[in-house]
Structure 1
Amino acid sequence: MTTMGSVVKNIIGDGIITFMWVFCVSTLGAVTSVIASALQLEGGIPVLVITTAIVASLVFIFNIIGEAMGGASFNPTGTASFYAAGVGPDNLFSIALRLPAQAVGAVGGALAIMELMPSQYKHMLGGPSLKVDMHTGAIAEGVLTFLISFAVLFIFLKGPNSLFLKTWLLAISTVLLVIAGSGYTGPSMNPVNAFGWAYVYNSHNTWEQFYVYWICPFVGAILAAWTFRFCFPPPTKQKKA
């Protein structure tokens, strides 16, 4: 059962870790570019491997940080999908309180990296943006969030025991879905990450932002959880005679 103390701890933790996540993940393009230039690589599979390795490192580090902070999360769709799948201590009340903290943390992370990123790399910053019509983008964001949510549930609940293998599988899944969605919505697959950058560009209060980057990702995450529960139903408890 979730106590008020643990909820407050999660609210603080969520704000901090979301700030750190948005700040760090926003440097992905710049760090990949620097490493690729140092190794004299130009596009293709080698650069993709670099990006995947960076994502895997971030996921690994942030999983450790999140666990150390008592289950702090930087993606509300992840929290929602685990709740809908019947996994974890959260309830609707705690989720409703954690979400604003994550949004504030995302805004702080986006503003901070905008200030601190060296000028020659600032053109590589920016959040997800809609590249197709709104309804197509909404469907794409919903489908992508469905896939990543199902992948997360499967990897962490049914996947290998090794944390290293779990991290790599999640990183590869994330990178592949980012590539798949790059021509549609960016993509985000994380409403507060999209919100943080939308706030920076003063587009956070638009219907497009709410529809594409909030409603559809949450629908996708919850459908993924229900699908997971259908495919892998929890074991039934046998009643004692």
Structure 2
Amino acid sequence: MGKSGVMKMAVLDGIMSFFWTLITSSIGAAAFVIERYTQYEGDRTPIVYALVLVVNLVFVEFSFKLGGPAWNPTAPVAFYAAGASDDTLLTLLVRMPAMAAGAAAGVLTATSLMPAPYRPLMGSGPNLKTDLWTGALAEGGLTFAINLIVLYVVLRGTSNRFLQTPLIVACALVLVQQGAKYTGPAMNPSDAFGWAYLNKTSSVSEQLVVYWLSPLLGTVAAAMVFRGVFGSPRDNAAAAAKAKEA
């Protein structure tokens, strides 16, 4: 990936992250409006889950069409560490700040555009509900799990994106429920940064340790486990090509 390609990808990362946080922070309000409009009187959770799935399907499709921009820093880190992308450490260091900036802009925009009566439905984003190190272990473990699932589904499972996304979303929702009493959870450092920038309630150590360092380490660990079990996709492809030539 050349210098211009890196900058283009970083810009696209920022744009995708902006719209991701703008839209996902509005899902609660959207579910409420749908509930009122349809006169639905049951639990609102299925509506929220359906909206989450639709949003993920749309974003995955846009990412595919645009060449792979991300809205979660752990995604390119996972595929880089697994040996399944053209990223380098340098490109990742350029892309991650772009995602964080886009996420912060998205949350701020959503808050400013949301009508006052609906703002409580936006929530307040991830928040640490335990001590620092318990939260770090929880966030790291949850991010390890979701990225191991993502790597397996995308690289070893079905190639159909419209089947991949529901599987990943379902697993992510289960993990969110499990992590609710610990960190929120985020499993997305840029998303956590966006909310922290808005709320200004998160300490620097909390942001760095719980919502950045821990999930990124969990992501790398997931990639290492994947490579240990299935091998690097790049190495596997090279070995297959060499065997074919022989």
Q: TM > 0.5 between the two?
A: yes
Q: Which residue of 2 aligns with 1:147?
A: 145
Q: Does 1:219 align with 2:220?
A: no
Task: Give, in whole Å, the separation in 2 of the partners of 1:147 and 1:223.
Answer: 10
For 1:198-219, what per-residue CA distance to the aligned partner results, in whole angstroms no more than 9, with x for missing partners?
0112246521111110110001
- Residues 161, 39 of structure 1: CA spacing in aligned structure 2 closer, same or farther, 3 A cutoff? farther
User: Residue 19 of structure 1 aligns to which amino acid in structure 2?
Assistant: F
What residue in structure 2 maps to residue 117 of structure 1?
Answer: 114
Separation (CA, whole Å) in 2 of partners of 1:113 and 1:195: 15
Secondary structure (helix, strand or coil) at the match of 1:74 reads: coil
Structure 2: stretches of 5+ with no match in the other structure: none
TM-score of the superposition, structure 1-length normalised? 0.92
Deviates more, 1:73-82 or 1:228-237: 228-237
Residue 98 of structure 1: aligned partner? 95
Q: Quick check: 1:195–1:204 contact (8 Å CA) kept in 2? A: no
Residue aligning to 1:42: 42
Post-superposition shift, 1:39?
A: 4.6
Aligned to 2:24: 25
Q: CA RMSD in A?
A: 1.7
Distance 2:4 2:208 in 1: 31
**Cα distance in 2, alignment partners of residues 146 and 9 from structure 1:** 28
Instruction: Count residues in correspondence.
Output: 237
CA shift digits 1:1-28 (9 cap, x unpaired): x111210110110110000001011112
Amino acid at match of 2:17: T
| Equivalent in the alignment of 1:163 | 161
In structure 2, the residue corresponding to 1:30 is in which secondary structure?
helix
Deviation per residue, 1:39-86 (Å, 9 max, x gap): 52333xxx4432222111111111122123221111111111110000
Assess, with a 3 A threshold, how the Cα gap between structure 1 residues 76 and 12 changes in structure 2: closer, same or farther. same
TM-score for both structures, normalised by structure 2? 0.90
Identity of aligned residues (%): 39
AA partner of residue 158 (structure 1): R
Decide which of 175, 196, 205 is 1:198's aligned counterpart: 196
Structure 2: which amino acid aligns with 1:173? C
Compute the displacement of 1:159 (Å): 1.5
Query: Partners of 2:103 and 2:96 in 1: how far apart?
Result: 11
What residue number does 1:86 align with?
A: 83
CA shift, 1:162, in A, is 2.0
CA gap of 1:39–1:222, structure 2 versus 1, over 3 A, is farther
Structure 1 residues 134, 205: closer, same or farther in 2, change over 3 A? closer
- Offset of residue 87 of structure 1: 0.7
Does residue 1:181 correspond to 2:179, yes or no? yes
* 1: CA distance, partners of 2:93 / 2:109: 25
Q: 1:34 deviation in Å?
A: 3.0
Query: Which residue does the alignment assign to 2:228?
Result: 230
